[in-house]
């Protein structure tokens, strides 16, 4: 089973973050893969969904994460909702096992033409998986190729800065 990230994890590597004040770093390959996935869904008029796998690090500012891979699996989706197909969970975990990183650091999903934000359902999904620990939600709108990242603490969702790593 993959680890859900948690500030309580004892063995987090201490390493200064690349950019002060930024807690979320994402590989360019990950952005390419999730935007491609969202574009495919868009042609089928369906939202898409997946998990972001990577590493949790810490420095003097606290916890930050690097998303190094995106994984997905079979989905039940239409134009306004998406979830993992029950039969697809096993293959999802197999895909996670093949990733370099060992932590689920976030998730992504698409919105079709309504812009990038976290809906009430999204917030419930997010807090159901990550609680109020650091975990990041990336929302993509393939209708105008926009993408935004959010954290979701006790004071609700907040759009955050994200650095794309080449």
- Contact residues for Zn ion, defined by CB under 5 A: 119, 122
Smallest separation, CB 101 to Zn ion (Å):
24
Residue (35 or 91) nearer to Zn ion, CB: 35
Smallest separation, CB 111 to Zn ion (Å):
5
Residue (21 or 128) nearer to Zn ion, CB: 128
Residue (6 or 119) nearer to Zn ion, CB: 119
Smallest separation, CB 81 to Zn ion (Å):
8
- From first CA to last CA, the distance across the chain in angstroms is 29
CB of 5 closer than 8 Å to CB of 103: yes
CB of 42 closer than 8 Å to CB of 15: no
Strands 75-77 and 62-71: unpaired
Residue (69 or 122) nearer to Zn ion, CB: 122
Report how far residue 42's alpha carbon sits from residue 46's, in angstroms, rounded to the nearest whole number: 6
Nearest residue to Zn ion by CB is 122
SS3 of residue 96 by DSSP: helix
Segments in the chain forming alpha helices (H): 28-43, 89-97, 120-130
Residue (33 or 119) nearer to Zn ion, CB: 119
Smallest separation, CB 137 to Zn ion (Å):
8
Smallest separation, CB 160 to Zn ion (Å):
16
Report how far residue 81's alpha carbon sits from residue 18's, in angstroms, rounded to the nearest whole number: 35
């Amino acid at each position: 089973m993959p680890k859900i990230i948690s500030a309580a994890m004892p063995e987090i590597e201490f390493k200064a973050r690349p950019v002060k004040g930024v807690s979320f770093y994402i590989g360019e390959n990950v952005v390419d893969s999730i935007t491609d996935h969202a574009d495919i869904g868009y042609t089928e008029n369906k939202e898409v969904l997946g998990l972001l796998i990577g590493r949790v690090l810490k420095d003097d500012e606290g916890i930050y994460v690097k998303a190094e891979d995106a994984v997905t699996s079979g989905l039940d989706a239409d134009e306004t909702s998406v979830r993992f197909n029950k039969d697809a969970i096993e293959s999802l975990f197999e895909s996670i096992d093949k990733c370099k990183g060992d932590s689920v650091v976030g998730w992504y999903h698409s919105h079709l033409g309504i812009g990038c934000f976290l809906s009430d359902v999204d917030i419930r999904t997010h807090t159901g998986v990550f609680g109020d620990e650091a975990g990041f939600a990336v929302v993509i709108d393939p209708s105008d190729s926009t993408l935004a990242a959010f954290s979701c603490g006790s004071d609700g969702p907040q759009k955050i800065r994200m650095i794309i790593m080449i």
